[in-house]
Structure 1
Amino acid sequence: PFKPQRFNLPTKTTPTKVAPVTFQQNKHIEGSQNWQGPQYTAFRNYNSEWHDQGWWHSHSNNVVFVFGGWYAFNAGYWYPAWGYAPNSYYAYDGPIYAYNNLPPDQVIANVQTALQQQGYYQGEVDGLLGPQTREAIAGYQRANGLTETAAIDQPTLQSLGMA
């Protein structure tokens, strides 16, 4: 099993190395309708929504600020809390499978580290689910016979020894 680590990641700035994704109302995750099984339900059902702080707090018991953006925890996943605060930054628009009570940036940093150790990721461990990290995840999933989501999902974390 992979032992989770705590990384000292920047939290108060907007990254410059990874371009932000922009909000698109009712955006669905491309290709997710083809991902079979209950472990992909959060991805198939994902729908970008814009709500104010009150809505997010009434629909999630855990909302955290991570690297320029707010994330809400719901049913085992972290979701970008679009609309929680103006000018929030997100590198990825979709669910992030949570484990070990870690906030989303720490989950991502642990995945980046595990993928680095196995030679799939050569980038900086920065806690951002940007294009380079998603490419590394997809490569790992392909090589290990997993559904290629390019996302942090439960089967991938299990395969990495994290979930």
Structure 2
Amino acid sequence: MADFYIPRTLIRDRGQDNEAVLTEADIPLIKAPIVILGDPGLGKTQLTKTLEVRYGFKRVSAGTFYRMQNYAALQTAPDGKLIIDGLDEITSSSGISAIDEVLRKLSELHSPNFILSCALQIGKDRQIVTKLAKTTVPSRSLFISSPLLLKTP
């Protein structure tokens, strides 16, 4: 049986005055860090795999990224993106939160343009977005611009 793929539609700033619907084709044009949130099973991993193949982005599971010591293979081209899929699937045993560890490693990679995907979990998605927002304050800037939050409908 042939693979069947349904292109994803994403919503930016759901519930806000500037809410907008985006397609997969819009993602490469976004020059800010991206956080993709959605319920389990809605296709976030398939979306990240499609972005990797179509646009040549580098993709790594969050667990692999979390455990990596050598980041050389993850260097991206200036117009590329680093995709870290499944942020919700990692837990920390070191006392440092998994989110903080991922942000630290992104900083060590010189803050590449990235996409994080994460399943929605009560409280955890707010924790991720809050931490990213705090890290993007200009006086403590790890990233060039604030992350763009996209949710699956």
Q: Same fold (TM over 0.5)?
A: no
Of Structure 1 and Structure 2, which has the larger fraction of its residues in strand? Answer: 2
TM-score, normalised via structure 1 length: 0.28
TM-score by length of 2: 0.29
